[in-house]
Amino acid sequence: MKDPNTLVTHAFLFWESWKRAQQQQHVLPSLQPSSLTNPTHWSPPPVSYLKVNIDAAMDFVNDCMGFGWVVRDHEGRVQGVAMRKAAGLFSVPEAKAMGAQEALSWLKSKGWERVIIESDAQVVTRAVDTGDLNTPFGAIVRDVRSLLDQFESAAMCFVRRGSNSVAHALAKQALDQQTHVLVDFSEYMSFFISTLVCKDIMF
């Protein structure tokens, strides 16, 4: 069995070959949220930007939530992965907004300044985009907007679940963690994560 790093390398080679076969010039998207919300599978960010897919999962039986996110560059290379389990339950939109809050704080601590945040929670991304604080999670939206303003360039946008599959799986995996401490995979990528990323880019 091949090690995780070899699997990911092979997946990248396959992806690059597929792109060349299309004989199409890659057009960098604008950073306007409206132009970042239409893919049905994961797509790379512009050069010099990082794309961060985030999600949250709920465990109603054990009264807890899971947050997960993955950071990739314009070549699809994973720059960081993190997940965390949190005690208690909130509404799904509140949990998704909290996940964005967690991810942005973590990203800021890494020193990354150009980021595109993707979430499959449209009600949350719309509230963040419009600044609508008249929601049950308005206070979290305020914090998310404040965190976004601290980056050199940042946008948060909605994507379909198919574009967010890795973050979704990470959030669910976080529910199985034994502690509530944030788990950071920036220095090491487990076989579980490598497999998820490989599947995500081999479309």
| Within-domain flag for 9 | yes
| Within-domain flag for 120 | yes
Which string of b and e fits 39-72 if b means at least 16 CB within 10 Å?
eeebbbbbeebbbbbbbbbbeeeeebbbbbbbbb
For residue 21, pLDDT beyond 70 = no
CATH of residue 124: 3.30.420.10
| Within-domain flag for 145 | yes
| Within-domain flag for 27 | no
pLDDT tens profile 102-151: 999 999 999 999 999 999 999 999 999 999 999 889 999 999 999 999 99
For residue 79, pLDDT beyond 90 = yes
Q: Which residues is 118 bridged to in the sheet?
A: 53, 157
| Within-domain flag for 101 | yes
Full residue range of the structural domain in which residue 129 is found: 4-16+42-201
Q: What percent of the chain has pLDDT over 70?
A: 76
| Within-domain flag for 26 | no
pLDDT tens profile 28-70: 344 544 444 455 678 899 999 999 999 999 999 999 999 999 9
Task: Supply the mean pLDDT for the chain.
Answer: 82
The domain total for the chain is: 1
| Within-domain flag for 32 | no
